[in-house]
Structure 1
Amino acid sequence: MLTVLRLALVPFFFVSLFLPGPTWRWVALGVFAVGSFTDYLDGELARRYGLITDFGKIADPIADKALTGAALVGLSILQELPWWVTVVILGRELGVTLLRFWVIRHGVIPASYGGKVKTVLQMAAIVLYIVPGVPDIVRWTVMGAAVVVTVATGVDYVWRAVKLRQVARKARGE
């Protein structure tokens, strides 16, 4: 239910980001914060009560990427965030998603600590871009860190996927 709520919040967030005036920026921030919190809460509840479902395994990452993607694309359309940042982050997210499907028959690569750091940095950077009046140096510093960690964890994910496939092939005697 929380995943569906997060997906439903994406259009409201996106529209409020484009409405004029600082009040709407605060509304967009509130919607983004609620969406981000539902991601955290969803994961906690699923682990605590063993409510991990096939639907959740597919829908949760889609909802996360929809919220983050809407924020990055919206900020780029508004010319507040360079498009190359949006392309790098969303390219990595799409690439890792495709990689997951490529190796799924060999096993699942668990989320790494770096992946969690990446998510926190991306969310923090997006928040800093949504909030009116944050100095550019602060925004750029956090977004720069988010981009570096995003790329590094993407490379790490590729490395772990290749190793997983090699181990699976050896186990089958190939």
Structure 2
Amino acid sequence: MTGSVPNALTALRLLVVPIAVVLLVVDDGADGPARWWALVLVAFAAATDWLDGYLARRWEVVSGFGKLADPIADKALVLGVLACLVVVDGIPWWPLAILVVREVGVTIGRLAVASQVVIPASRGGKIKTTLQLTSLLMFLLPGAPAWWDAIAWWVLVAAAVVAVVTGIDYARTIRAANRAHRDGTADADA
């Protein structure tokens, strides 16, 4: 039973994404109750991101599914909510574009080598996700003053920079995994 809890939390995070997106679209920048509920759901999803990994490591039930699905759930949450904020709040689009390219590239690369090796989230990837979620939670706060949004913006810019750096690192890791599989050598994680 305990082995399925981290995976269930990951799946729950995936279910929260469309609900939060719909709430943001319904709110349409009005900073009303739907925005507050979206904030609560995103905060809950961010907490499950930390909790599922913690429980999987603590209970020693880290799974291939969790290593693959957890980053996908994070990407869906961040990109879905950020896309809504770009449309509804007018946040500049270019950090979203950088994150989409990076996330799609990393996900396709991970899936391409998934039969050979599961590439877990790196420390840099976790920092990027933390910066992204922090920025989103800050942007979602209804009625925040301009200086708060300015801080949220710079946290988002930092997340975009970390995304580029870690994207390059993942590309190297994925290439090494492909090469190791093709050459029949040791695992790329070694």
For the aligned pair, the TM-score class normalised by the smaller chain equals 0.7 to 0.9
**Cα distance between partner residues in 1 of 2:35 and 2:123:** 31
| Distance apart, 1:142 and its partner CA | 0.7
Letter in 2 for 1:78: V
**Cα distance between partner residues in 2 of 1:79 and 1:29:** 14
Aligned position for 2:171: 158
**Cα distance between partner residues in 1 of 2:169 and 2:69:** 24
**Cα distance between partner residues in 1 of 2:59 and 2:111:** 26
| Distance apart, 1:40 and its partner CA | 1.2
1:6 aligns with 2:13: yes
**Cα distance between partner residues in 1 of 2:176 and 2:44:** 37
TM-score in terms of structure 2 length: 0.79
TM-score in terms of structure 1 length: 0.85
Q: 1:9 to 1:111 in 2, by over 3 A?
A: closer
- In structure 1, stretches of 5+ residues that fail to align are none
Moved more, 95-104 or 16-25: 16-25
| Distance apart, 1:108 and its partner CA | 3.3
2:64·2:118 contact (CA, 8 Å) conserved in 1?
no
2:14·2:77 contact (CA, 8 Å) conserved in 1?
yes
CA shift digits 1:134-165 (9 cap, x unpaired): 42431221111010001110011112222333
Identify which of 94, 108, 120 aligns with 2:130: 120
Aligned position for 1:41: 51
2:67·2:118 contact (CA, 8 Å) conserved in 1?
no
1:29 aligns with 2:36: no
Q: 1:63 to 1:55 in 2, by over 3 A?
A: same
Moved more, 82-91 or 129-138: 129-138
Identify which of 146, 150, 168 aligns with 1:137: 150
CA RMSD, 1 decimal: 2.1
Q: 1:17 to 1:159 in 2, by over 3 A?
A: same
Matched residue count: 172
Q: What fraction of aligned residue pairs are identical, expressed as a percent?
A: 42
Letter in 1 for 2:94: W
| Distance apart, 1:21 and its partner CA | 3.0
